[in-house]
Every structure is written in structure tokens, then in C-alpha cells.
Amino acid sequence: MRISDKRNVVKLATVMVLAVIVITIFSIPLISIIAPLGDILFPGSGLWNVPAEVPQQETLYIPGLNSSVTAYRDEWGVPHIYASNENDLSFALGYIHAQDRLFQMDLARRQVRGKLSELVGDLALEEDKFNLAMGMEYWANQTLQDAIRRQELGEIDYLDSVYDYADGVNYYINTHQNELPIEYEMLGFKPALWTPLDTFCYTKYMSKMLTWQYDDLYRFQAFEALGAVNYTEIMSMSTYGQIPICPNYGKFNDSSELTYNGGPLKISSNVIGVVRDFLKNVENIPSEKSLMDLQDQNAIGSNNWVVDGIKSSTGKPILCNDMHLAWNMPGIWYEAHLVDESSGFNFYGFMLAGVNIPIVGHNDHVAWGFTNTGYDVMDWYYYEEVDDDHYIYDGLITEYKKRIYTLNVKDEGSQQFTVRETVHGPVLNDFLGSAIPDSLDAPNVVLAPKWTGNNVTGEVYALYGYAHSKNRADFDLASENFHCPAQNHVYADVQGTIAMRPTGLVPIRDDSLIEAWHFGNGTLPYNGTKGEGDWIGYVPFNELPNTVNHSQHYLASANQIVTGPDYKKYALQNSYATGYRARRINELLNNSADGTVGVEKMKEIQLDVKSTAARALIPYLINATDNLQSSHKTPTMLDVLTQLKNWDYDMDKDLAAPTIYRKWRDYYGDYTFNDEFSAAGAQMRPQLNVLEKLTRDEPDSLWFDDINTGAVEDRNYIMIKALNSTITWLLDFYKTSEVSAWRWGEIHQLDFPHFVFESLDIGPFEGDGEGYTVNPAGVSIRNGVGYARGGASERMIVDFSDLQNSLSVIPSGQRGVPNSKHYSDQLEELFLQGKYHRHYFYDNKIDFPQSHIESRIYIIAGEDPAFIIGLTTGLIVGCSVGIVAVVAGWYKKDLLRAKFKELKRRFRGE
């Protein structure tokens, strides 16, 4: 029995227990957002109507379809859809997406479109207002309208398929009103019909997830709190240990790259107060706090790399991608295989349920994957406000533009609110309701962001082009339309080309008006009242970094710095990952001899949990401990030292050394920086590679000195202090002095939460890794057990020597139906076990292996024969009755006429 099958039995037993709850409570909602239990549990409604699995065979008859479609689901629930044109393919995909992921689709569009409060009332009102104010729905609609215009002009031809996709989703909704996912019954609502706008909103949802940021504001707060000299010293170390994504722009020598030539910070305390209060209240918005937490735990990122035919063992390129996002049930990615048998279009890869355009994957010719570039695509501006309708921009009183929305709030009716727009973007410190302190109104300062996502963007067009590319030229041409979110595009093709192109819209700022203390390039917020920092264009596509067929025979990205110091013309990034994952990937690939890297090696790399961060820091701790006087070494400390000396830096859940390292690292960072940062009130902390540089190169740095004591502390003192605190904490947590029992897996666990209901979560599971390993699982263990809720959201390995040998896996299952075996089968049976499933990449349905077909859907163009027979029968019967009636009428009429004639003769006496 599969693990997932056992879990379903347990769920069924739980349901049976719930069924005996006293009947009087069945009509009472448990809390305001949950429907009465009777609606959920009574036979004939709710849970009892939700089928765990799709039918083994379905036949649908769809009038207006161009031709018939066949879809097979394999043993993992992955659909393989065969059609004769892409419009019908999209219809079938829409139906299947709705069949598997309808509630997830619904929730995502509601978040973008400000409709969560329709479900849960005023609990989500501030979030709805904030999301609408951001402008995602508005600009999704503008992008859709632009696509309609371009389609009418003949510039694009994919838009009809978006409408057909919506038709497929809606066919499922209309024909399965009594079989909707259980979440609809639990929340007590029905899904609205899907629209093309919903699909375009989903693209903005992803752009926001990957590129929306408050870094400028946090940097500004740290700059003001620490002072220019301290801030600059810390920021200057950010390139330490970085291996650039594009290797053809030079290497860093670990020297400082940032210099400060300005004077003291001169800015109104009102602005500083507004920024502080705004950030404090943004952190109370659930979606924003969740995103910040994931970023803090290094869960928002990705890995991708590719080797060419010289490095590979097959003579052909092998491409890998694992995108790091939040873990949820179901996961964000949906696997699908799409085939247009008439045109030869043949794609396998990952999609968003809600979007009919492939995101990453491969066709017969090319493969591609993404990681986040970290390009700075968003700036914040502050302005003096004149009144509710006017603000000062570039020295002139300027009228706000306004967007007016009406929100329908559950149990409270409708509410109207207005979004005010500056020349740069929406005013966002308007929408935090009662959480805003009265003091926020006094400064008359407003904040607004300018973001590349708030624009008409072309990423849907680009993605469509990727899926249909046959070579690098096709792919490059499509890439020009990829605007937001900016991504590192790893690429390979059947001809042997490998490439890396970090692309997207990157603004060029006018920094001619900034103050001397401002670093420019969007590093800190701009004074919009003085006209600072206006965008005057975007970096031209052909001047963005690009690497093709490099001499090292591989390319790799893991959210590190994009280019080396030789790329000077444009500023691209103000922040990037610490580079530890990139170091390890480069190490493993660089150390692999030419002709030796195969699919198995790629699996090893994706699953690697060796911590290059620990390897960089722990030798210094060991050395400092060895040099302690014997009287200062307790038996437990000696046991800890033994664990660390025997450790190979694998973050293995069954070992104690990872636990010791991780807890010590927290204390070491805190004791180094908290005295200065906390005293100044700065929330931002230096990245770990900054601490590594200080550890290696500056053991007597003033950052190690505790400003709260009269003594002068150095690196070794702080290291030992952190170690003593670590031992005390772990003794208390594990309740044993047996150091080997301090297992990492007991305190480091992997959790896969449902979007809404905790009872539908999967996990937690003990897990390997940490936030800085190639296979990431970042946690906070400051208060006890840490739960990783983000990491690899998919894994893909594409083998161009045999595309049937390509592999993938997701950390959930294909279906968002909790009682389905495909709810968590890939998670429990593959992902957590370090396993994959192969791609059944057959370009026609005849060759598809019958032994791997779990279910079938046949979508037939035309009316249902049963309907035709019924209609024909009805017509025949109806006509027959009519003829009889007419004949009878004629006969009756003739009789009457004859009778009338007879009466007339009699009357006349004839």
C-alpha cells in the first residue's frame, strides 16, 4: 500500500469520527469563515460528493471544438494531452487544470483581484486593499487589452488559446457543481467562472512574488541608523565569495567594491518615521510577512545549470533546474505534456494551474529553466503631500490620479475605496487601516513604488515563443519580450548549444539630482518631491549580460551576482544571494572531468546538502577552541569539538554536528552585529558572507567588539562566547548531555501546509539541508524546532541524448484534492526519498505505453450522440403525433364539411 493510500484511510477514519458529532452543531459555523458542518459532512453533500480520483475513462462531447482530443494521465497523475491544434489543446488543459487544481487557481486570482474578503470577511480586507493598490489587477488588465489589440493587428496569434483555456475551465465548473473541491464546502461558496483576465493576473502574481521588494526601505533605515561609514563598510563586502553567473565579465578579488564619498545624511525625521511605521505595518499583512519570512530563510531563489556535450558523458547537453519557492499543498507547479500532432508541437514541463502557456521545460529542440536574477526592478519614492488630492513632484504641485474600487465583504456588504497614484506609482501607506498610528498622518509624507511589473509586459508572449522555439535564434527573439519577473534563463538545445541569459526589464535612473549622501542606482529611496531618480529608459536587451558556449563547458546560476567587475555600463543589482549554493555547484561541476557528467551526477548535485558556509566558518571555531586553556574546556565542549572535527559538512538529519553549527552560527552572528544594529534600531542584518569575510580577514574588526562592555572583544572571544551559549541552549532543548543525540532532524523539519486549512497539511518530516545548501531547506531555530516551508518547488533534468530519459519531481502531487492518492504521492514517495520520475515524452498517442496509463479522457468535437438520438427520437415522435393530428384534423374537417352539406340539402328540401 502506498504511503498516500494509508494516509487516505486515516483521513476517512477521521471523517467517520467527525460524523458522530452532536447533530445540533451541524447547522452552526465553527468560526465565521467555515460553513456549517452539516453542509460538509451530511451524506449527499459536501465531502461525500468530492471524488478522490478522476474517472478511469471520461468522454466529453463539446460542440464548437475543432477536432477531438485525447488525454492520458500516467501513474503520477501527469496529463499527456494530444490534440490537432493548440486551441483544442488549451480547452482540454483548462478542463484538466480545473479538475485537479480549481481551488488553488481560485485562491490565487482572488489574492491578486482583492476578493479574499468575499470569503473570510474583514479578516482579509486590508490585504485586499493593499493588493489592489499595488496595481497587479489593473496592469494585468492593461496587458490583456494590449494583447487583444496586437492580436487584431496580427502581431500575435496565441490569445485565442487563452480564451479556449478559460472555456475548458468553465466547462468543468458548470458540469461539476456538485463535485467541487471540499474547500468550497468548508468555506461555503462557489467558484465564479474563469476569465482570460484571471490568467493574466496569475502572471502578475508570480512577478510580485519574485521581484516585489522593500529592500530600499530597509537599507534606508539601516543607513540612517548605523551612519554612512559603518553602513558602507558592511555593504562593501557583499561581493565576497561571489562566482558570477556569467563568467565572461571577469572575477571578483574579494576587495571592497563600494565607496562612500558623500556627507552626512540630511533627511526629514518625518520621512524616517513614515518609513519605519510603514515597514512595521506591512509586516502585519499576512501575505507580505509570509514572503519576508521565506526570503529570510533563503527559500525564494533557485538553481539552474547546464553542461555541454564535452562535459557530459553523453556527448549532448544536460540541463537542470530547481526553482525555490514556498511549499504548499498542492504545490505551485503543475506538470503536463502537451502535443499538437498536426504541427509537431511537443512540450513537457511545468505550468501554473490557471495559465495555458508553459513556464519551464523542453520541447523536441530546446530546453530552458529559470532562477531569479535579483535585478533591481523597483524603486521607492517619498513626497510631501499638499492635501488629499495633491502632492509635490519635482517642485510642482501635482494632482493624484485615482482608481476607485468596490469590495464585497462577507457579512458586511460592500465598501468603496480609492487608490491615489503619483507619477511613479500607487500611494501605499494609505491601506493599512487602523494599524496605522495617528502619528503617521502628521508628517504629510506619502510613499509610492515604481515597479517594472506595473506596466504592459510581454512575458506571456515570450513564454509562448520559448515553447515553440527550434533553436537559439528563436529563443533569443522571444526573450526580448520577457519583461518581469527578470530571470536567469539557462538554455540548451539539440544542436549542442548551451547558454545563460539573465534578462528582463532593468530601469535606467536619472541620478543627476540626488544628494551627495545617496548612492544612486535605486539603492535607497528617492525624494520624489525634488524629482530624484526618474526612470529614463531600460537597459537595451542586447546590452544585458549573456553567455553562450563558454570554454568552461558549463554554466550555473543560484541567485548570486550576475556579472563580474568588467561589466560596467549599467547598474543591475543592489542585492543578491550570498553565493554559497553557487560555490558548491561550481565546485562539483568544475571538479568533474570532461565526458563524465551524466544524469546520475546531476541528481547528486540537486540533492547535495554539503554546507559551504559551514566549511568556511567551522575551521576557525575549531582552531579557537583548540587554543583555549584546558581549564576552560568542559567535557561537553570537548564532545562538541569531536563532532565538528569528524564532520564532512553534510547537513545530514541524523547527525549532531549540523545542529551545533547552525545554532552556533546564529549566536555568532548575533554577538557580532546585534550590539551595533539593535542599539541603532536597524532591522536589516549583514549577509552571512560578510561575516565570513570578517572571520577570515579581520579577526580584530571593531564589529567583533561589544560596544556594551568596557573590554575590547575579538573574533575568537565572540566565537567561544557563541559556542558556550550554543551548548547551554542545546543541553536545555535536547535534555541530554549525550552530544551525538543532538540530531539535526529533530530540530530541522520540513512542512508542507495547505493554503487555508491546517488539517490538510502534510508533514512535518525530519529533513536534511539548510538555507545555504544546493538542496535548500532554510529554518529559524531561535525558539526551538524550525519548520522549513520552502525550497525546491520542482526538480527537472533534461537529457538531450535521450529526452525519454529526462526526469522531474514536485514536492506535492498533481491533484489538489486531499483524499486523492495524487495529493502528496510525489512528495512522500519521490521528493522526500531523493527520487524522480521519467518523462513519457511520446509525440503521438499511438506510441504512448499503455502500461503507464492510469486514466483516459476523450474529448469529442460535436454533440453527444445520446443527445442526438434523444433529439431525433423526440423529433420523430413529435412529428408523428403532429401528422396524426393533422390527418385527424383533416379527416374531422372533411366529416364536418360533409355533415354541413347534408344539413344544407335537408334544409333546402333537396
Q: Smallest Cα–Cα separation from 454: which of 432, 419, 484, 431?
A: 484
Q: What is the pLDDT of residue 870?
A: 59
Q: What is the pLDDT of residue 887?
A: 41
User: pLDDT over 90 for what percent of the chain?
Assistant: 77
Q: Is the pLDDT of residue 909 over 60?
A: no
Q: What is the pLDDT of residue 893?
A: 40
Strand ranges across the sheet with 786-788: 762-766, 748-752, 786-788
C-alpha to C-alpha distances, 825 to 7, 694, 695, 815, nearest whole angstrom: 10, 45, 44, 10
Q: Smallest Cα–Cα separation from 376: which of 603, 538, 235?
A: 538
Q: Is the pLDDT of residue 190 over 80?
A: yes
> How deeply is 63 buried, as exposed, middle or buried, from its count of CB atoms within 10 A (0-12, 13-18, 19+)?
exposed
Q: Smallest Cα–Cα separation from 827: which of 1, 53, 4?
A: 4
Amino acid at 834: G
Q: Is the pLDDT of residue 884 over 70?
A: no
Q: Is the pLDDT of residue 26 over 60?
A: no
Q: Is the pLDDT of residue 881 over 60?
A: no
Q: What is the pLDDT of residue 878?
A: 53
Mean pLDDT of 545-557: 98
Q: How far apart are CA 65 and CA 88, in angstroms?
A: 6
Q: What is the 3-state secondary structure (H, E, C) of 534-574?
A: CEEEECCHHHCCCEECCCCCEEEECCCCCCCCCCCCCCCEC
Which of 93-97, 218-222, 674-678, 861-865 ranks highest by mean pLDDT?
Answer: 93-97
User: pLDDT over 70 for what percent of the chain?
Assistant: 86
C-alpha to C-alpha distances, 82 to 55, 228, 799, nearest whole angstrom: 18, 61, 23
**Phi, psi (degrees; rounded to nearest 5) at 170:** -70, -30
Amino acid at 199: T
Q: Smallest Cα–Cα separation from 173: which of 189, 160, 197, 149?
A: 189
Q: What is the pLDDT of residue 272?
A: 87
Name residue 362's beta-bridge partners: 348, 367
Greater confidence (890 vs 533) lies with 533
Q: Is the pLDDT of residue 14 over 60?
A: no
Contact 830, 606 (CB under 8 A): no
Q: Is the pLDDT of residue 515 over 80?
A: yes
Q: Is the pLDDT of residue 726 over 90?
A: yes
Greater confidence (191 vs 261) lies with 191
Mean pLDDT of 80-87: 98
Its sign, for the CA torsion 763, 769, 770, 776, is negative
Q: How far apart are CA 123 and CA 118, in angstroms?
A: 10
pLDDT tens by residue, 393-426: 999 999 999 999 999 999 999 999 999 999 999 9
**Phi, psi (degrees; rounded to nearest 5) at 897:** -60, -45
pLDDT tens by residue, 679-711: 778 888 899 999 999 999 999 999 999 999 999
Q: What is the pLDDT of residue 440?
A: 39
Mean pLDDT of 237-263: 79
Q: How do 69-73 and 855-861 pair as beta strands? A: antiparallel
Q: Is the pLDDT of residue 906 over 90?
A: no
Contact 324, 301 (CB under 8 A): yes
